[in-house]
Amino acid sequence: MRERMNRGTDFSDSEFCREGTRSFMKPTSLERSKEAPTLTSATFENLVHEMLVRLGEDPEREGLSDTPERVHKAMKFLTKGYQEDPEVLLKGALFTVNYDEMVIVKDIEVFSLCEHHLLPFFGKVHVAYIPNGRVLGLSKIPRLIELFSRRLQIQERLTTQIAETIQKVIEPQGVGVVIEARHLCMMMRGVEKQHSAAVTSSMLGCFRNEEETRSEFLSLIRQRPNGV
């Protein structure tokens, strides 16, 4: 834990992010010792420790001494969606009904990590579908969103995965998903105006083919009690 790692990979040409703050990633600690773990044998905590060193920090100081362990736990939690099967989740909660009006669950909070910067993006998800003989237990929609958001994501894929999984498992007449989210990787770097949100949508079946269905969904999610 205390030794620095061998530098098994050359990062000198790698980019921290697409926009390129290249100097950020330049290695500053190149010490080698026979006992030091390699990149692949290093524990997660070793890697975070080394990252702190490269950022110019002292990982031994009081406030940081347990940080590698905390980061490991936090990252495991925030990416635990990889361990879960979305179809199994939904299949356990299907109910036969005659109802064929639109079912909407809106303003579901979402927190995820962008795969480009490993920084959070967060916002609201709105989901609607028109059943075709089967409905989903309502609590499963937030759970499905949570499952996919606890993976490294881009907002566009998160939107599509939610819509496609519902379409595949319950085979409704159609599904609509809209996500409005703010991305810290943009907000903290001043890339975007601080209060603007990215909006993505995925429309399948009758939500794609019927203008009227899509408009009904969009107007229902626009009705905000507080005008937010």
Minimum distance, C-beta of residue 185 to Zn ion, in the bound complex (Å): 3
* CA angle 157–225–211, rounded 5-degree value: 50
Q: State yes or no: is 116 an active-site residue.
A: yes
- Site residue total, Zn ion (CB under 5 A): 4
Amino acid identity, position 41: S
Choose which of 42, 128, 185, 221 interacts with Zn ion (CB under 5 A). Answer: 185
Q: Which is nearer to Zn ion, 114 or 221 (CB)?
A: 114
Q: State yes or no: is 17 an active-site residue.
A: no
How many CB atoms lie under 10 A from the CB of residue 219?
9
Q: State yes or no: is 114 an active-site residue.
A: yes
Is 117 a binder of Zn ion (CB under 5 A)? Answer: yes
The sign of the dihedral angle between the CA atoms of 149, 108, 216, 91 is positive
Is 177 a binder of Zn ion (CB under 5 A)? Answer: no
Minimum distance, C-beta of residue 71 to Zn ion, in the bound complex (Å): 18
Q: Which is nearer to Zn ion, 189 or 208 (CB)?
A: 189
Pairing mode, if any, of strands 120-130 and 103-114? Answer: antiparallel
Q: Which of 19, 31, 60, 115 is catalytic?
A: 115
Q: State yes or no: is 167 an active-site residue.
A: no
Is 106 a binder of Zn ion (CB under 5 A)? Answer: no
Q: What are phi and psi of 224, to 5 degrees?
A: -115, 125
Write the Ramachandran bin of 178: left for phi over 0, alpha for psi from -120 to 50, otherwise beta.
beta
Q: Which is nearer to Zn ion, 89 or 119 (CB)?
A: 119
Strand ranges in 19-151 using DSSP code E only, listed in sequence order: 94-96, 103-114, 120-130, 134-136
Q: Which is nearer to Zn ion, 117 or 214 (CB)?
A: 117
Annotated catalytic residues are 114-117, 155, 183, 185
Footprint on this chain of Zn ion (rule: CB under 5 A): 114, 116-117, 185
